[in-house]
Chain A
Amino acid sequence: MADRQDHWVFYFDPNRCIGCHACSISCKQFHGRDSDADDWRTVTHHQNANGQHPSASEYDPDTASPIENVPISMSCMHCHDAPCEEVCPTEAIEKRDSDGIVTIDQDKCIGCKYCGWACPFGAPTYGDNGLMSKCNMCLDQGPGSGAGAESKNEQDDPIQPNCVSDCVGGAIKAGPEKEMIKEASQAAADRFKSNNERVIVEPFQGNESNLNLVEHAASENAGD
């Protein structure tokens, strides 16, 4: 059994995200999912209490929330405590000991949607067949794939999830927890450890740095 430090986690820096949706599109493309299927990786902006984004006509930069312009890229975070795994009656969901990636075996799934309620990130999606599918950190391609796939920690050169490799701003990273902690700022690392968090997230610095990043992403040095 691998140590939790070896379990893969996501790292997200909202200051480097420009909201281009490349992550969610590359995810959908790699896994061969229909364009109208629910996203495994979503890019959302600040939503109101009804789960709706402010429309362009409603948006007022003087009164708007400072994070209405901040895109948040989310997927299954492969939680260390995996609440979805705990409630699944058939053990179709597995938090793998080897690399910490949470997989779904659709041959065991009954489509009860219990995991959808238990997940704090809203990660599980349910396709036309009613069965659950979600991010598998690109262990394999397609819904339900990845269960039983080789551990990322046993691969010589572990394949990065497509959302990571296609992110133009370097906002998303994935890897063993001990490596991701090194990538994080002190503030993000401290918060991750002290709050026993499920994902490493950089503190948001403000709109100005975000705009700088947009300019950077559009420049020749994009991707640096």
Chain B
Amino acid sequence: MSVTGGSEWLWLPHVHWAEFIALYLFLGGVSGGAYVTSSWASLMKSLMDTDSWLGKILLARTDDEEHRYACAETARWGSVLSVLAMAVGGVALLSHLGAPLRALTFPVLFSNYGSWLTIGTWVIVLFTTIAVLETLWLHFGSAVATESGLSLFPRKILGRIDSLLPTERGFVWLLDTIADATRLPSRVHGALRVLGGGLALLLVVYTAMLLSDVSIVPLWERTYLPFIFLMSGVSTGISAALLGTVASGGALTRTNHRFCLTDDAIIIAELVAIGLLLSHLSNSSNAAADLTMSTLFGTYSLAFVGGVLLLGTSLPVVISITVTLLHQFTEFGETLRGKRLLTGGYALKYSLVLVGGFLLRYVVLLAAIKTPLAVPGL
């Protein structure tokens, strides 16, 4: 029943992984991307702190306090959001399973290492471990106690809980102590960050490999989908972390400016890859590819064309370029109103990228159509 060349098709019922899995794939991308953003911001900050020659080449100047603050905030936002996204995504994934508690025994149960579900589970575990340690070191410890910033909200929340406790030493003291006791020498820490960055990118790519391993769904084409998800994951990660930095008052810093432009370049690469995927589908002789195109531009046109192509990718680039031009080449940002508008523009851009990132996964799942069976003899 899988004869090719038949003119009549037997369409199989759609087996949707619905919103929860879309949310999981999206948050997996955000988590990995936010960690990469955090690591890069940490590197920038450490280059400024050491006033090294590399820092002078990469950053032009190492005495910009606003840049230093924004780097620290971005690093903290990125790390804490990577952990939060993974936590929420994990719950979304588990809630979809038929036997979620059984899945928690994965070290014993997941024995097929050729399955991307098994590979991905171990990537998640290793990545989350590093991301949690990074978050601990960036938010707790004696060195952080004197710092300020909205990104330190976990510390503030725990501090308030501590104030309600009858004991003198609470959660903040405990985590500060653990952070100081476990903090690694800078070179080892740097190596761990590189490892974490590699795992973060693998986490993002895995969310696409999981899908593209199913070869009978043309939309999940292996040549394009992993790259699209990688670009989208890094882009949404940058957006999540920098949205935090904007909320911390770092919208008009060089840190935000550079990350925003990087994000724009990544979004454009993502759009090109989406275009190539659409071109591949439209040129395919597979009946499911043909129907997928009709579905993307028919049933899911609002989510795909409106949400992904326009609202979630193209518009953010337009907003970003507009805000950047106003910020860098005019005196628009000199007034309080101008500053507020520019800050709002950056926040809007990052928010739209996040919405687009979710809708991309949603559409990729719900518009997925299996290759139909060719009815023999016709």
Which residues of chain A have a CB within 8 Å of any CB of chain B?
A: 12, 14, 44, 46-51, 65-67, 70, 72, 74, 77, 83, 86-91, 108-114, 116-118, 120-122, 126, 129-132, 191, 195, 197-199, 201-205
Interface on chain A toward B: helix, strand, loop, or mixed SS?
Answer: loop
**Are B117 and A114 closer than 8 Å at their CB atoms?**
yes
**Are B14 and A197 closer than 8 Å at their CB atoms?**
no
Supply 6 A–B pairs (Cβ within 8 Å), ascending by A.
Answer: A14-B375, A49-B294, A89-B109, A114-B117, A132-B98, A197-B3
What chain A residues lie within 8 Å of B12 (beta carbons)? 51, 120-122
Q: Which of B99, B100, B214 contacts A109 (CB 8 A)?
A: B99
User: In the complex the two chains form, what is the Cα distance from A185 to B111 in whole Å?
Assistant: 42
Question: What does the 1/0 interface line of B5-45 toward A look like (CB < 8 Å)?
Answer: 00010111111010000000000000000000000000000
A-B pairs, top 5 by smallest CB distance, nearest first, are A111-B98, A130-B98, A204-B377, A203-B377, A89-B117
A170 shortest CB reach to chain B, Å: 18
**Are A118 and B13 closer than 8 Å at their CB atoms?**
no
**Known contacts A87-B116, A129-B99, A197-B3; can you find 11 more A-B pairs with CB under 8 A?**
A46-B8, A49-B294, A83-B214, A86-B114, A90-B110, A114-B115, A114-B210, A121-B1, A130-B98, A191-B376, A201-B1
B58 shortest CB reach to chain A, Å: 42
What chain A residues lie within 8 Å of B217 (beta carbons)? 117
A126 shortest CB reach to chain B, Å: 7
Question: What does the 1/0 interface line of B82-103 toward A look like (CB < 8 Å)?
Answer: 0000000000000011111011
B290 shortest CB reach to chain A, Å: 9
**Are A122 and B375 closer than 8 Å at their CB atoms?**
no
**Are A131 and B99 closer than 8 Å at their CB atoms?**
yes
What chain A residues lie within 8 Å of B116 (beta carbons)? 87
- B285: Cβ under 8 A from any A Cβ: no
- B324: Cβ under 8 A from any A Cβ: no
**Are B115 and A66 closer than 8 Å at their CB atoms?**
no
A211 shortest CB reach to chain B, Å: 16
Chain B residues with a Cβ closer than 8 Å to the other chain, count: 46
- B112: Cβ under 8 A from any A Cβ: yes
User: In the complex the two chains form, what is the Cα distance from A28 to B375 in whole Å?
Assistant: 25
* Minimum CB distance partner of A198 in chain B: B2
B200 shortest CB reach to chain A, Å: 22
What chain B residues lie within 8 Å of A132 (beta carbons)? 98
Contact A204 to B98, CB < 8 A, known contacts A120-B371, A191-B3: no
**Are A110 and B370 closer than 8 Å at their CB atoms?**
no
- B291: Cβ under 8 A from any A Cβ: yes
A192 shortest CB reach to chain B, Å: 10
User: In the complex the two chains form, what is the Cα distance from A126 to B99 in whole Å?
Assistant: 12
**Are A70 and B115 closer than 8 Å at their CB atoms?**
no
**Are A110 and B375 closer than 8 Å at their CB atoms?**
no
User: In the complex the two chains form, what is the Cα distance from A109 to B100 in whole Å?
Assistant: 10
What chain A residues lie within 8 Å of B102 (beta carbons)? 110
A14 shortest CB reach to chain B, Å: 7
User: In the complex the two chains form, what is the Cα distance from A83 to B111 in whole Å?
Assistant: 16
- B150: Cβ under 8 A from any A Cβ: no
- B213: Cβ under 8 A from any A Cβ: yes
**Are B99 and A89 closer than 8 Å at their CB atoms?**
no
**Are A116 and B15 closer than 8 Å at their CB atoms?**
yes
**Are B2 and A110 closer than 8 Å at their CB atoms?**
no
What chain A residues lie within 8 Å of B14 (beta carbons)? 51
B302 shortest CB reach to chain A, Å: 18
Most chain B C-beta atoms within 10 Å of own C-beta, residue among A47, A86, A112: A112
User: In the complex the two chains form, what is the Cα distance from A110 to B94 in whole Å?
Assistant: 10
What chain B residues lie within 8 Å of A51 (beta carbons)? 11-14
Q: Which of A72, A74, A83, A91 contacts B112 (CB 8 A)?
A: A91
**Are A89 and B291 closer than 8 Å at their CB atoms?**
no
What chain B residues lie within 8 Å of A90 (beta carbons)? 109-112
What chain A residues lie within 8 Å of B110 (beta carbons)? 89-90
